[in-house]
Amino acid sequence: MQRKFMIIGAIMAMLSVAIGAFGAHLLEPIVGEDAMKVYETGVQYHMAHALGIILIAVAAGIWGDSRKLAWAGWLLFAGIILFSGSLYVLTVTGIKQLGAITPIGGVAFIAGWICLIADAASRKKR
């Protein structure tokens, strides 16, 4: 689990940088300032939660694997896809209905962090 989430987190962080650079250099002149704010929100949450997945990998290495940590990692990953992904597609296409998907990703983020909290709270002190 540790290796898997470290790889996923690192790939997600790399993609966040690439997607952010694409937006800053190529997309901004096309979509305008308001749409870029939406896009940048997606990039910020993408990177923050990619780092969260890396944190989960590190926690698994220190504490050992657990179902709660696995759920936390997969929920943060799903949140990136749903939250940030919907904002990216919304920015590029202008299809406002895609905004309905964004809160589902936000709920996945929250649930992932709750799983990490629950795992940490259930561990015995050394």
- Tell me the per-residue pLDDT of 64-120, one tens digit each, with 9 for 90 and over: 999 999 999 999 999 999 999 999 999 999 888 888 999 999 999 999 999 999 999
Structural domain includes residue 94: yes
Residue 126 clears pLDDT 70, i.e. is over it: no
State residue 24's pLDDT score.
Answer: 85
Structural domain includes residue 126: no
Residue 100: phi, psi to the nearest 5?
A: -70, -20
Q: Which two tokens stand for residue 126?
A: 């050394």
The total of structural domains in the chain comes to 1
Within 64-101, residue ranges assigned H as helices are: 67-79, 85-93
Domain containing residue 53: 2-121
Structural domain includes residue 117: yes
What are the tens digits of pLDDT across the range 19-30? 999 988 888 888
pLDDT average, residue stretch 41-65? 97
Structural domain includes residue 29: yes
- The model's pTM is 0.94
Q: Are 35 and 91 in contact (CB under 8 A)?
A: yes
State residue 124's pLDDT score.
Answer: 82
